[in-house]
Chain A
Amino acid sequence: MLKTKLNTKQLTEKQKISVLMILPLSMLVLAFVFDTPVDIIKGLYKIIIHPDILLTDYIKVGGIGAAFFNSAILTLLNIYILRKNNISVNGISMAAIFIIAGFAFFGKNLFNVWAIYLGGFIYTKYQGRKFKNVAIVSMFGTALAPLVNEIAYGTNLPFPFNIILGVSVGILVGFVLPPLSSHFLRTHDGYSLYNIGFTAGFIGAIIMSIMKSYGFIGESTLILSSEYDLILKIFLTSFFIILIVIGYFLNNRSFKGYSDILWFTGRLITDFTHLVGIGITLINMGIMGLIGMIYVIISNGVVNGPVIGGLLTIVGFSAFGKHPRNCIPILVGVYLAGMTGIWETNSTALIIAGLFGTTLAPIAGEYGWFSGILAGFFHLSLVMNVGYLHGGLNLYNNGFSGGIVASMLVPIIDAFRKGD
């Protein structure tokens, strides 16, 4: 194993950035293939002024060109933030970039994310530290970006107070996220990968409760597209295969050493770029993307904005803990729960519950496939109900649910274990 790792080609930071830029640049090109520049600008405006609570598919709201453009530019800007702050391209930063690329199809846009970053920036200035320290937390923290839109455009406040209040609340959230996210890790001990989702769920619940106390009616939405299913399936599958091919070449034209990755539990923090090398990591990301796509196809699902988010999040976190052995049991658990429950197995909410439910992969990795299936099973019921608490303000609804499941399930599984 060590020999394999030594033979693996090492990439410079610039080369790793180039690999990260494949997705946004191809989306940028596709945006202009599908739509005219005028339509993209009009679509982007619609995306920016639309309340973004779950589930709001930007492909439906602004058109496919604008959705691709929004995701591409937002991803490129975040890659620039990585470079500007000298943050190395490792498992966590790759996960952050892919989660932004994915959620830029249903909730994160070129307007609503910046208040969160500004809050993080003010926090570092207040503490006398560098923004670099919290940049990753702020990237993940854009889970609460819809809050800015909801207050700015979803309330009846007069202009410009609506914008000022929305941005101010976003800044406040960005400020408190770094200490809170670190604190909440201890609740589930790193057994849920989307920790910010867990944290943001609580913040969202508090803010939504306050808003409701003053007469705001929070209603979840369900705006979904279905017309670009085949094109998106082809595009994403091609991208996953490209990742595997790049990884194959970086790994000395072989898949040798891939089985090593399956040995890790995936519990936070498991940075595959560091543990097994960038080549194997990219192969794993591509394979996990394909597994996610197969799950969507088996579930007879349609690829739309939220499903793209789910797939890209799986791919990103496959550099940071996820692999087939710890994710498949979760997918099976969610699918079984879907078959036996009251939900339609091909509904988008159920499909993304499976894709995002892999936040619980470390439970399967640490405690085995049965525990993983159990975790997936519980996750579905919970995720279908916790959205009410934060009223769809927290984009990582599955991260919120996953955190609760892990916090409850891990000590229980542990109680049934004998000995150390």
Chain B
Amino acid sequence: MKHEIKRISKILDELVTFCFLHGTNEMNVNIENHNEYFKISFVIDNIDCTDRRVQELKKLLNSPRQEEIEEYYWELAGECDSDTEFTLVGAMVDRAEVEFKGTSLYLTLYRYR
């Protein structure tokens, strides 16, 4: 897919913005570039779990990959510092594992090539 690397960067941009907007002080990011997929892992501390958007994270990220939405809107990801585009990120990834442990959030996203 065209601009594949840039699209991964946009997903990261959106996630980093989201986490800082919702109380995070520290996050650890790991990105793996495999032949068949990209794997993005986040460990995020002190996230505001009472926030409605944080609660909906699992559902939004686990929506089916929608290439028709991604193709049109991918450049919007990470472009706004007050609103977040998790519907868009959900449309850009194939699988998401979201786990809350206390105030920490463990997030793993898979995007197949």
Assembly CA distance A154 to B76 (angstroms): 38
Q: Select the residue from B60, B64, B69, B70 with max chain A CB neighbours within 10 A.
A: B69
| Interface class of chain A by DSSP | helix
User: Between A and B, how many residue pairs show CB distances below 8 Å?
Assistant: 76
Assembly CA distance A137 to B73 (angstroms): 10
B35 to chain A, nearest CB (A): 18
Q: Does A271 contact B (CB under 8 A)?
A: yes
- A186/B72 in contact, CB under 8 A: no
B44 to chain A, nearest CB (A): 19
Instruction: Look across to chain A and name the residue whose beta carbon is closest to the beta carbon of B66.
Output: A88
Assembly CA distance A4 to B65 (angstroms): 25
* CB 8 Å contact bits of B33-71 with A (1 = contact, 0 = none): 000000000000000000010010000100110111111
Q: Does B13 contact A (CB under 8 A)?
A: no
In this complex, the interface size class of chain B, counting residues with CB under 8 Å from chain A, is: 20 to 34
Q: Does A267 contact B (CB under 8 A)?
A: yes
- Specify which of B52, B64, B69, B80 is in contact with A267 (CB 8 Å cutoff): B80
- A270/B87 in contact, CB under 8 A: yes
A338 to chain B, nearest CB (A): 30
- A132/B76 in contact, CB under 8 A: no
Q: Does B81 contact A (CB under 8 A)?
A: yes
- Specify which of A87, A130, A134, A185 is in contact with B73 (CB 8 Å cutoff): A185
Within 8 A of B (CB), among A269-300: 269-271, 274-275
- B69/A182 in contact, CB under 8 A: no
- Specify which of B2, B52, B68 is in contact with A132 (CB 8 Å cutoff): B68
- A90/B88 in contact, CB under 8 A: no
Assembly CA distance A133 to B73 (angstroms): 11
- B73/A274 in contact, CB under 8 A: no
- B81/A420 in contact, CB under 8 A: yes
Minimum-distance CB pairs A-B, first 9: A133-B71, A133-B67, A190-B76, A136-B68, A182-B75, A185-B76, A189-B79, A267-B83, A269-B73
Binding site for B on A (CB under 8 A): 1-2, 87-88, 90, 92-93, 127, 129-130, 132-137, 178, 181-183, 185-186, 189-190, 263, 265, 267-271, 274-275, 366, 420
